[in-house]
Amino acid sequence: MRTIYYRAQRNIRLNGRKLNRILIRLRNILFVIVVVFILFIYKVNQSHETAVMAYISKSAHKFISCEREETSKPYNTNVLELLINKYNSAENIINLDVYGDINRQTIILVILVDKYSTSLKYFLASLSQIKGIEEAFLIFSHSYFDEDVNNLIRKVDFCRVLQIYYPHSLQLHSHKFPGYDPSDCPPDIDMQTAESLNCTGAWSPDIHGHYRNPQFAAKKHHWWWTANKVFENLKCTVNHNGLVVFLEHDFYFMEDLLYMTIYMKNIADTVSHCEFISLGTNSLKNLNFINTYRVEVMTWNHKEHSSVLGFDIKVWNSIVSHYDLFCLIDDYSWARSLYFISLSRRDGKRFKVLHSLTPRAFKIDATAFTNTLNNIEVIENVYQVILLEKQHLDDWFPTHIEVYYKIELEKDEYMIFEYSENNGGWNDPRDKAMCTNMTIRKIKKVLMDMKNEFMDYISEKDP
């Protein structure tokens, strides 16, 4: 029996060693496969990057070749706050001496910028190649102060540029509201736990039972502050009544973006209650490049039409007159909050949009886990967009535009806002109050205008 036992033990050890050797071999083979795959991807990416650089004009290479300065140090919060206030007050417009003053109809592109990224470099490179860009005015709204980003933007020499800085950023308020205050309730605890902790916001979880996440809330605050700043609080736009286009810093553009923007704006002005124009897409899949001259009038949808969104001061006045709907709805998405306004306007009419069936702006941002993979993915996305552009070179700058009305338009008029689809994240009273306070100057102006109109009416009645 003892002999059989020892033999069994020896066989187990031998089998274990064999299994270990097999596993080691499999691991080595897998490692080799991964290395070969990475080298292949890197080689393909290098080839695509070379093709991209060859396609982009040499004058735009300075944006792509611009690298971060590793020696840059973080700012002291107090110093940073002074800098931001200084820059916002100065309203220093770059290249104004070259391209002249902004007029009432100048197309304004408002770009929401966060941190330094590869996509921002290609964004600027593609902007420089848009036909007529020298007539536009770029406003970069920063949610993060970064000298590397500033240095990159200061390389822009193809049009007028203004940089504004969001003064309520998480960078400035990392340990207090609107950042994360140590006394705040953690986002994912339940209400019972929050009450026992007696943390800030314990009695106001969102629609899904979660508590405030500063990173989510910051995006809506930033967009709302930017819109208020551009339409209400800049000296250079005080008399502007042209189109303002909002977009983020991770898009690549077709050369006829401004051509189509102006063309579509002129058409939208002739269409009853058509407030928005939309020219972008968040996906490179299922795109229509057959009829680049077709646009469609439809009910505005935040999922499809918010990535590159243009409207003027009249539409802004309609939006801001419903500031309570925007600021009080429990949703951290600015686009879905606009959608709530659309479905709840006092006149009962939904926002309409003139939408380009073939996009002129393509999202190129990456979602990889490392900077290296992010860079590879961005370059690959740019390469795919350039391939699409080259395949349809004769289809851009259409000499005429066909306008279609979506047949579901009337049905869409009776859509209901589904609260269950809300993102939530916006039920903290502090967020709602801060959002409302951003619009207080406009509210006071509207009330004063109403008072003056009433006094004029009284004086006419009783001379």
> For 257-283, what is each residue's pLDDT tens digit?
999 999 999 999 988 889 999 998 877
What's the pLDDT at 405?
Answer: 84
Confidence of residue 135 (pLDDT cuts 50, 70, 90): very high
Global confidence as pTM = 0.86
What's the pLDDT at 70?
Answer: 64
Q: Is residue 269 part of a domain?
A: yes
What's the pLDDT at 462?
Answer: 61
Q: Token match 């500031």: residue?
A: 323
304 within 8 A of 279, measured Cβ to Cβ: no
Q: What percent of the chain has pLDDT over 70?
A: 83
Range name among 99-113, 128-142, 192-206, 373-387 with the lowest pLDDT average: 373-387
What's the pLDDT at 227?
Answer: 97
172 within 8 A of 81, measured Cβ to Cβ: yes
Q: Is residue 191 part of a domain?
A: yes
Range name among 113-117, 262-266, 405-409 with the lowest pLDDT average: 405-409
* Higher-pLDDT residue of 350, 31: 350
Range name among 126-130, 186-190, 204-208, 455-459 with the lowest pLDDT average: 455-459
Q: Are strands 352-356 and 251-253 parallel, antiparallel or unpaired?
A: unpaired
b/e for 410-439, b at 16 or more Cβ within 10 A?
Answer: eeeeeeeeeeeebbbbbbbebbbebbbebb
Q: Token match 């925007």: residue?
A: 326
What's the pLDDT at 131?
Answer: 96
* Higher-pLDDT residue of 284, 317: 317
Range name among 9-23, 25-39, 178-192, 197-211 with the lowest pLDDT average: 9-23
Confidence of residue 364 (pLDDT cuts 50, 70, 90): confident
Decide if pLDDT at 114 tops 80: yes
Mean pLDDT across 427-436? 95
Decide if pLDDT at 183 tops 80: yes
What is the rounded distance in angstroms from the CA atom of residue 253 to the CA atom of residue 130?
7
Confidence of residue 193 (pLDDT cuts 50, 70, 90): very high
What's the pLDDT at 276?
Answer: 96
Q: Is residue 2 part of a domain?
A: no
Between the ranges 160-169, 189-198, 357-366, where is the mean pLDDT highest?
160-169
Q: Is residue 28 part of a domain?
A: no
What's the pLDDT at 152?
Answer: 94
Decide if pLDDT at 42 tops 60: no
In 3-state terms, what secondary structure has residue 246? Answer: strand
Range name among 21-30, 41-50, 94-103 with the lowest pLDDT average: 41-50
Confidence of residue 32 (pLDDT cuts 50, 70, 90): confident
Q: In what order do the strands lie in the sheet with 309-311?
A: 160-165, 137-142, 108-113, 244-248, 309-311, 276-278, 352-356, 294-299, 402-405
Confidence of residue 348 (pLDDT cuts 50, 70, 90): confident
CA distances from 279 to 130, 260, 291, 310 (A): 14, 8, 14, 9
Mean pLDDT across 89-106? 94
Mean pLDDT across 73-92? 90
What is the torsional sign of CA 280, 278, 157, 388?
positive
In 3-state terms, what secondary structure has residue 244? Answer: strand
What's the pLDDT at 369?
Answer: 58
CATH number of the domain that residue 207 is part of? 3.90.550.10
Please give the mean pLDDT across all residues of the chain: 85
Q: Is residue 149 part of a domain?
A: yes
Decide if pLDDT at 54 tops 80: no
Q: Tens digit of pLDDT for each residue in 208-219? A: 999 999 999 999
Confidence of residue 108 (pLDDT cuts 50, 70, 90): very high
**From the annotation, which residues make up the binding site?**
250
* Higher-pLDDT residue of 438, 348: 438
Q: Specify the number of domains making up the chain.
A: 1
What's the pLDDT at 45?
Answer: 60
Confidence of residue 17 (pLDDT cuts 50, 70, 90): low
Task: Please give the residue range of the domain that contains residue 193.
Answer: 56-461
Q: Report the chain's C-alpha Rg in angstroms.
A: 27
- Taking the C-alpha atoms of 227, 425, 115 and 145 in order, what is their torsion angle to the nearest 10 degrees? 60
**From the annotation, which residues make up the binding site for Mn(2+)?**
250
Compute how many other C-beta atoms are within 10 angstroms of the C-beta atom of residue 33.
10
Decide if pLDDT at 232 tops 60: yes
Range name among 261-265, 302-306, 365-369, 412-416 with the lowest pLDDT average: 412-416
Confidence of residue 336 (pLDDT cuts 50, 70, 90): very high
- Strand ranges (E), 144-218: 160-165
Decide if pLDDT at 44 tops 80: no
* Higher-pLDDT residue of 41, 343: 343
